[in-house]
Amino acid sequence: MDAAGATAVAGDDRGWIADAVAALRREAARSADTHLLHATFPGLPGIDFYFKDEASHPTGSLKHRLARSLFLYALCNGRLRPGQAVVDASSGSTAISEAWFARLLGLSFTAVMPANTAPAKIEAVHALGGHCDLTGADTCPQARAKEIAAQGACFLDQFGLAERATDWRGNNNIAESIVGQLRHERHPEPAWIVCGAGTGGTSATIGRYLRYRGLHTRLCVAEPTGMAFARAWRTRDHAAHATHATCIEGIGRSRAEPGFLPEVVDKVVEVPDAASIAGMLLLETQFGRRYGGSSGTNLVACLELASRMHRNGEHGSIVSLLCDRGERYDRTLFDPGWRGRSGIDPAPWGRELQSIIEGGAAGTQRPARLDALL
């Protein structure tokens, strides 16, 4: 593993920055792409599903791309100096990726995280040499991160800088990768791309890229029910706040973050937490490995869009993201005991989703639960 900090020349910030940027470029070349998994379902003939396995990144999630971009942005804007501590606010996956890159560059890292973050995520940050500053319900993690930054740390600020730190025109961003991987498929220009919104950076990158390339593909954001991005999209009001809480980590913000661009989103599908967990469990049966709750949210939105296409006699492809490793939620979302204590029963939704993908008598009409998502 590169250690750019070890090659820095004492007192020469520019030399250290050049070494750090070179280390990040080498890492990008080593982990430049992720697999695009293909699936078809008998209940939705003529529709190809593709799931981009972002959990296969070295740090186990989609946030690997974002963390690299945030470090590059800080370096190239003169905000990150040799030996400087780094801090960010995160519900877990971004923190894990940032801790990994901080270690790559020989820097100390603090993640400000809600105390109810999945324990496996906290443990992963510690394993990478990072420190976790856990906040209670009455403390804003971003405000706490700013307090730490005021003492001299570099605040990476994923929520404030995600959409500007990511190169949406190309340079192997996630949208360019999807379009390139579909080039030889039956429906190379997808009807829909579906993603969740945490910082808003991924949806902004994809939406901008689709317009930049002149593609007809539409962008759908999959959102836990009652959260802020759905309200911001409907009203075009960034002051929107959530009306519900959610147990789906990584997406579903209580407020609309500045990186979310509602103007580039064509549709938002709100998904109840129980449905997201049912989708998460269904993904395990389809692909033989576990993905997190936000991946389940994405799957439910994909099936809603596909059901509408099927009823209208449309064929095409739908692409979505498998956002992070499910093992991070073994003691929460995947634990039946935890779900019971939380009052969440995914079984009715699981039966409904299964009827959609299987077709037959149960799948000839859109079930009432899925219909409610509209």
Instruction: Say what the pLDDT of residue 371 is.
Output: 60
The contacts of residue 252 (CB under 8 Å, 6+ apart) are 196, 198, 223, 224, 227, 229, 242, 246
Question: Contact, 360 vs 44, CB < 8 A?
Answer: no
pLDDT at 137: 86
More confident residue, 31 or 40: 40
Residue 369 confidence (pLDDT) above 90: no
Give the model's pLDDT for residue 363. Answer: 40
> What is the pLDDT confidence band of residue 362, given thresholds at 50, 70 and 90?
very low
| Per-residue CA distances from 93 to 21, 59, 209, 256 (Å) | 22, 8, 24, 19
Taking CA 93 as the corner, what is the angle to CA 295 and CA 317, rounded to the nearest 5 degrees? 30
If pLDDT is split at 50, 70 and 90, which confidence band does 373 have? low
Domains of the chain: 30-58+169-366 (3.40.50.1100), 63-163 (3.40.50.1100)
Identify the pLDDT of residue 360. Answer: 52
Tell me how far CA of residue 299 lies from CA of 2, 157, 350, in angstroms.
Answer: 37, 29, 12
Compute the average pLDDT of residues 316-344.
Answer: 97
* Residue 1: pLDDT band with limits 50, 70, 90: very low
pLDDT for res 370: 64
Q: Decide if pLDDT at 346 tops 50.
A: yes
Helix boundaries (H) for the chain: 13-30, 63-76, 93-104, 119-127, 141-149, 158-165, 174-181, 201-212, 228-235, 273-287, 293-311, 336-341, 347-358, 368-371
Instruction: Kindly tell me if the per-residue pLDDT of 133 is higher than 70.
Output: yes
Contact 125, 103 (CB under 8 A): no
Average pLDDT of the residues in 251-262: 93
What pLDDT, in 10s, does the model give residues 214-246? 999 999 999 999 999 999 999 999 899 999 899
Distance CA 362, CA 13 (A): 65
Cα–Cα distance for residue pair 149/170, rounded to 1 Å: 31
